[in-house]
Structure 1
Amino acid sequence: MKPITAILTFAVILLSLNRSAAQTASNQPGATLNHIAVYVSDLNRSAAFYETLLNLQKIEEPFKDGRHVWFSLGAAGQMHLISGAKSGVKYDKNEHLCFSVASITDFIAKLDQQKLSYINWEGTAKAPTIRVDGVKQIYFQDPDGHWLEVNDQKKFQ
């Protein structure tokens, strides 16, 4: 075989292997969310906050080390609270966890009853943002200052 023919043959084989690998990779299912970990300064206070306010269900915590509380997020996975964070950290609202509820009006009443403040995206107190798709959303912070969004989106588009 002439050197140029060997090089061309080798190049064709590499291209076909590369194309085959790319096709295999694109046929693979996407990753799914397993859990979210939230670092908190007071585990009991934060666990009570999420359990009471968002009605999250505690699930078995396998480490049994007193540093974790696990919650089910249904089909979305789990949320793990982990103790040990320093207090006073400032978080940006752009980095937030979002939960959907059946009624934003009922949820706002619960916040008002517990005297928890909330804002819309622009920062106006006690006013939801109404997105262009009609979904209403509010923002507030957990005991450590992590931002949370709650909205009334019924399903993903």
Structure 2
Amino acid sequence: MAFFSTLQSIIIDLVVAVLIIFLGLVIARFLGNLTRRILKEFETDRIIKDYSFLTLKIEDLMGNLVKYLIYLITAVIALNQIGITGIVIYILIGLGILTAVGIVLFDVKDYMRNLVIGIFSKKRKKFRLNQEVRINCVKGRIIDLGITEIKIKTKKEDILVIPSSLW
């Protein structure tokens, strides 16, 4: 009889954990999209681009951050429901944070290199608008000069975007 009551409590805990995960997925997706929409209403990406010349997609980034943070919280609550606590949760959280940091570092690496090179080039005033340039195999006229990239219009009317690291 004790076996069946133990089995019943395990099954109930598993069902509740699955419901927590399902509810967490729904809430995470909803709040992630809500965050993205609110930031789009405030035109966050445009404001950042206008005032800093950076082309970051803050709206999408923050929406995804909210979504994945809720996923993580949901996973911790579900694991706690089925009795996996303590060191296992800390290991999973640590691995999740390590993975997130790794992904962010890989994404930011190229951007930061282009940003630093672009800032130094701006200070030296190496390029100016409407200047005829030849960068690597590309020859044309500069039509836009950003911190992380420049846009060149070729004689064939093609517009090419060249990152700062290639200047």
What is the TM-score with the length of structure 1 in the denominator? 0.30
What is the TM-score with the length of structure 2 in the denominator? 0.28
More helix by share: 2
Structure of higher RCO (CA pairs closer than 8 Å, 6+ residues apart): 1
More strand by share: 1
> Which of the pair has more CA radius of gyration?
2
